[in-house]
Amino acid sequence: MAEEKKLIINGKRIDGRSPDDLRPLRIETGVLNEADGSAFVQWGGNKIVAGIYGPRECIPKHEANPYKALVKCRYTMSPFASKEEHGRSGPNRRSIEISKVIREVFENIVVAELYPMTQIDIFIDVLQAEGGTRVGAITAAAAALADAGIPMRDMVCGVAVGKADGTIVLDLGKEEDNFGESDVPMAISNRGKELLLIQMDGLLTKEELAIAIDKAMAASEKIHAMQTEAITKRYEKLESEGLKL
Ligand code: CDP
């Protein structure tokens, strides 16, 4: 826990941000040739790639649902993603949990009834990690699904809010995530403003949690705008290359 490590000095965070600042965020879609849709997100020190395959034949076949597509998700961290070693373990407890919560976000968003008997795979690789990879992964996967042309009820992005040195801070960096008092990753839909994911590490009071949710909602507007820009750019490029949409 945080006791010895100063995370806020003279009102500024250790990377120089104010409490309500996001880290620099860049979103690009259409980054993988062989996937049906893809996106790359660089968010502070996070580098995350999402690739979508599907709707395609459901394997194993006995899992196929005659009423809707199955949404599957595999989140993974590359061996060189952080100072910790991720190479030999394959899927671990953390990556299985993160894959599950991300899948649940998209089960609520993808219009799966349009594609019975199929599956839609969301693959997410974290190439570099610096805190907040699950929310970065959700932001990347949503852009990649849009890039794949998969109908969604709403757009979704993720952002974490937490508490460091007694201050509520937006978009936790790694130190704040690891040593702060609390970390609350959230996923928020664009039009509906629904909270599709909320997890909590550490503690916040009820009042602090309400503030955290408000801050995440406000930040989600900015992140959604960047997702939209990335997707628009991609479609403009395809159009300028003469490809029929
Ligand atoms: O990445 P996210 O904040 O969604 O998940 P976390 O489990 O709260 O991890 C926070 C950060 O600690 C990650 O983003 C990584 O930078 C680092 N971490 C790591 O490098 N290896 C792990 N096994 C767990 C965390």
Pairwise CA distance, residues 135 & 173, whole Å: 12
Over its length of 245 residues, how does the chain's per-residue pLDDT go in tens digits? 445 679 999 999 999 999 999 999 999 999 999 999 999 999 999 999 999 999 999 999 999 999 999 999 999 999 899 987 776 657 899 999 999 999 999 999 999 999 999 999 999 999 999 999 999 999 999 999 999 999 999 999 999 999 999 999 999 999 999 999 999 999 999 999 999 999 999 999 999 999 999 999 999 999 999 999 999 999 999 889 887 65
Measured by CA distance, the residue closest to atom 9 of ligand 1 is: 131
The CA 77 to ligand 1 mean position distance, Å, reads 9
The CA 94 to ligand 1 mean position distance, Å, reads 9
Give the bridge partners for 77, in sequence order.
126
| Residue 174 in contact with ligand 1 by CB distance below 6 A | yes
The CA 89 to ligand 1 mean position distance, Å, reads 15
pTM: 0.96
In the chain, the domains with their CATH numbers are 19-240 (3.30.230.70)
